[in-house]
Amino acid sequence: MLQIAGGVCAPRGFLAGAAMAEIKKADKYDVGLIVSEVEAVAAGVFTTNRVKAAPVIHSKKVVEGGLAKGIVINSGNANACTGERGISDCLAMAREAAAVLGTGEDRVAVASTGVIGVEMPMDKVLPGVQKAGKALSSQGGHELALAMMTTDTFAKETAAEISLSGQKVRIGGVAKGSGMIHPNMATMLCFITTDARIDARLLQEALREAADESFNMITVDGDTSTNDTLLILANGMAGNSPLQAGSDDYGKFKAALSRVCRELAQMIARDGEGATKFLEIEVGGAGSLEDARRAARGIAGSSLTKAAFYGEDANWGRIICALGYSIEGFDPGLVDIFLGELQVCEAGGGLPFSEEEAKEILSQKDIKVRVELNLGDFRATAWGCDLSHEYVTINGSYRT
């Protein structure tokens, strides 16, 4: 897989544009469009929170239809918990974007992120959609990434190229997320584009698998958002033979899609609100894949463990404690724990280790923890960040 530039505009036939509509308090991009020049196959994965924002409800219907022409996005307002007015405003955004793109509102997905429970300032949003439409360009991916950001500190983009039966196929992606990030569709938005030819059923299958090992394996603060949305559009403009289930080309496509999703997910975890450290938690020797995933997520999501990493304290007891409430059917007396290459626990008990060496490992920006359950052959990795004083500062005044 070859890394390439361009983000969501890297695949053939995709354009993006952004506008400053003054939804946010500062002069920043806050409305964006992603558009396929031809109608595209659509698939999506959405928040499991029972409180779902109006854009999630609408976009799920678009995905159920299997086809889309574009996605309209805004930041600064989540359009969540806004009742019938929120549904009406969401449909107005879809209609406005559809008019710009020359399609129907049922072919335009909508995504919003920002403050919950506040009505959308439609007098700003709709002109912003028009401005974003005028800015559409094959070079507009970066501005679109900026338009999605809330508390993010950097834009999250990636793109890759693979060869499928001699044809070059590209996959591009953009994401936002810093707080309210937790497994089960980790507020997170991600949009992926590809010029591959693939039907809606296979595309949905590939996206779900990719999400399970990427976005559903990150955590920042344990809060699953009302707006989490992962969408992919595939317009077929690469000209490859339609992908078939079980084929080598489909396997290659799934692997590339998962790689793109993991890169974006790791960027989100690295940019966790107030984060000073990026954590990679690998759990091996599990009796099942689900146990490995639950264990890794449990450790990554433990507030006490995250606080210990912020303080650079080699308190491995918090790691094994998190295991104890994350999964069942394991033997604590078999557990081995490593901080980097330094083993601090063997067979469920402490080992004498150099506090100085542990401090050196924990002072790094990127920290890897490896836990061996010694029960089976399954492994999984989760990603997260530490818990700092700055996280409280950011979220203590997010709304005001």
Query: CA 298, CA 399: separation in Å to the nearest integer?
Result: 29
Assess contact for 97 and 70: CB atoms under 8 A. Answer: yes
196 token code pair: 């591959």
Assess contact for 188 and 180: CB atoms under 8 A. Answer: yes
Assess contact for 9 and 139: CB atoms under 8 A. Answer: yes
Query: CA 48, CA 341: separation in Å to the nearest integer?
Result: 36
* Among 187, 219, 229, 381, the one annotated catalytic: 187
Annotated active-site residue 381? The verdict is no
Query: CA 33, CA 108: separation in Å to the nearest integer?
Result: 10
Contacts of 339 (CB under 8 A, 6+ apart): 314, 316, 358, 361, 362, 367, 368, 369
Q: What ranges make up the beta strands (E) of 78-184?
A: 108-115, 156-164, 167-176
Amino acid at residue number 369 = V
Residue 43, CA distances (Å) to 46, 191, 223 in order: 10, 10, 24
Q: What residues act catalytically?
A: 187
